[in-house]
Amino acid sequence: MNRRTAIAMGMLSLWAACVVALEAKAEESGGVEVRIGAVVASNAGQVFDQRLASLRRQFDSLFQYTSYRLIKEERRMVSWGRQAGFDLPGGRYLLVIPRECKDNRVSMKLILVEGSRPLFDTVLGLRNQGTFLVGGPRHQEGRLIIAIAADTNAVPR
Amino acid sequence: MNCREAHPLLPLFFDGELDARQLRGVALHSTRCPSCEQELQQLERIQDLVVNAVTVRADEVDLSGLWSGIEPRINVVPPSWMVRARSWWETHQYDWTWPASALAALGAAALLAFALSPAAKDARPPQIAGVDNSANLDVVESHVDSMALLSEPETNTMVLWISDEEGAGTEEPGGLP
């Protein structure tokens, strides 16, 4: 092989790698990763789950509980317009339907159900990669706080 | 052009040193003037004689020892770094091509493998958070007794607080501030 052939083969390898990477990216752009975290906030003890470290500032500012425990976390890739249901502690159920991502804001319909009774039904516009909190329902010794995050840049699992 | 004008220009004409206008004038004149034509022929003969004489003398010169006299003096002068670099490049330019191409391909493959690997996906922190969490809600249809919407100003994190218990106002310590 001469020099030109060797360079051509190297360039071809790079090109092939780029094509595969771009295809993978295109596949993942077909939806949004929805992440749900269920947190029990209470005044029983002084425990702060380290997996919630990045939310500590918000929790401290918004609430006055002394203990926060992450009892469930789930992340799922959801196609636009499709629905995804997340089982939550206490027989609750969160239905998420991503609609679109416009101006870096993810629009999604949220329905929280407790048993057979809907607690609320709304459409949330959330900054991409942002987190929205729903709190209030009683659970165990405290209250349940549900963190809902959406990320269109996430890699599908 | 007459003879008086053309005559001083004949050597220049012969050597091709005239401009186009003079060249044309002398050439036309020499075709009509036997004297000037003869002068040009004499110049040609003189040139032939000179060339022959010089060639013969040059052939007689012995140049066999010339290079042997020059070469030692060239070799004692070290080549500049540019010359050495060029020489190295000309010698080795083909040596690195395959390894470099293979390295580039391996690097690309490694990057791709990392990007698509589950390890890369799991490398993300498990926390659910973002720096800017600004959000907005459309109309909320609620079936609970009370509802509040709060915002944490630093990261714009919003919380929808719902409560469907009697006495929701008597929030236990630790609830909403």
Domain annotation covers residue A26: no
Q: Whole-angstrom Cα distance, residue B12 to residue A145?
A: 106
Taking the C-alpha atoms of residue B152 and residue B134, their distance in angstroms, rounded to an integer, is 9
* The pLDDT of residue A149: 92
Q: How confident is the model at residue A77 (pLDDT cuts 50, 70, 90)?
A: very high
What pLDDT is attached to residue A145?
A: 93
Mean of pLDDT values over A131-156: 86
**Which helix (H) or strand (E) is A113 found in, with range?**
strand A105-114
pLDDT above 90 for A116: no
Contacts of B156 in chain A (CB under 8 A): 127, 130
More confident residue, B91 or B35: B35
State whether residue A90 sits within 8 Å of chain B by CB.
Answer: no
The residue among B159, B170, B176 with the most chain A CBs within 10 A of its CB, best to mutate, is B159
Look at chain A and report how many structural domains it folds into.
1
Show which of residues 154-173 on chain B sit within 8 Å of chain A, judged by CB atoms.
154-165, 172-173
**Residues facing B149 on adjacent strands:** B160
Q: Is the whole-model pTM more than 0.80?
A: no
For chain B, the maximum distance between any two Cα atoms, rounded to a whole number of angstroms, is: 137
Strand partners, B163: B146
Q: Per-residue confidence at A35, pLDDT binned at 50, 70, 90? A: very high
Which residues from chain A sit within 8 angstroms of residue B115, using beta carbons? 21, 24, 155
Q: Is B119 left (phi over 0), alpha (psi -120 to 50) or beta?
A: alpha
| Cα gap B173→B177, rounded to integer Å | 9
Residue A9 lies in a domain: no
- Tens digit of each residue's pLDDT (9 = 90 or more) over B130-151: 467 888 887 777 777 788 888 8
Q: How much is the pLDDT for A157?
A: 54
For residue A58, give the nearest of B116, B157, B162 by CB distance: B157
CA angle B176, A57, A101 (to 5 degrees): 90
Confidence check: pLDDT of A76 > 50: yes
Residue A112 has pLDDT above 50, yes or no: yes
Rounded mean pLDDT, A53-75: 89
Q: Give me the residue label for tokens 């890699």.
A: A155
| pLDDT computed for residue B175 by the predictor | 61
Q: What is the mean pLDDT of chain A?
A: 83
Higher-confidence residue: A6 or A72?
A: A72
Task: Give the domain extent around A60.
Answer: 31-151
Non-local (6+) Cβ contacts of A5 within 8 A are none
From A35, A26, A80, A27, select the one nearest A54 (Cα to Cα).
Answer: A35
Q: What's the angle, vertex CA B154, arms to CA B160 and CA B147, rounded to 5?
A: 15
E strand or H helix at B150: strand B146-152
What pLDDT does residue A107 have?
A: 92
pLDDT digits (tens, 9 = 90+) for B45-104: 998 999 888 888 888 888 888 888 887 777 666 778 888 888 888 887 777 777 777 888
Residue-wise pLDDT for B18-28, tens only, equals 888 888 888 88
DSSP 3-state of B78:
coil
Which token pair is B99? 């390894």
- Is the residue at A24 inside a domain? no
Q: Do B128 and A149 touch (CB under 8 A)?
A: yes
Q: Round to whole Å and give the CA distance between B46 and B27.
A: 20
Residue A115 CA to residue A136 CA, distance in Å, equals 16
Using a CB-CB cut-off of 8 Å, the residues of chain B touching A124 are 135-138
Instruction: Give the model's pLDDT for residue A146.
Output: 93
pLDDT at B162 over 90: no
* Strand blocks (E) in B19-145: 135-137, 141-142
**B81 Cα distance to chain centroid:** 22
Check residue B120 and give its pLDDT: 57
Q: What is the pLDDT of residue A21?
A: 57
Q: How many Cβ atoms are within 10 Å of B160's Cβ, its own excluded? A: 25
pLDDT of residue B169: 44
Per-residue model confidence (pLDDT) at position B177: 52
User: Distance (Å) from the C-alpha of residue A53 to the closest C-alpha of chain B?
Assistant: 7
Quickly state the pLDDT bin for A132 (edges 50, 70, 90).
very high
Give the DSSP letter of residue B138.
-
| pLDDT bucket at A58, cuts 50 / 70 / 90 | confident
Chain A residue numbers touching B109 (CB-CB < 8 A): 13, 17
Confidence of residue B127 (pLDDT cuts 50, 70, 90): very low
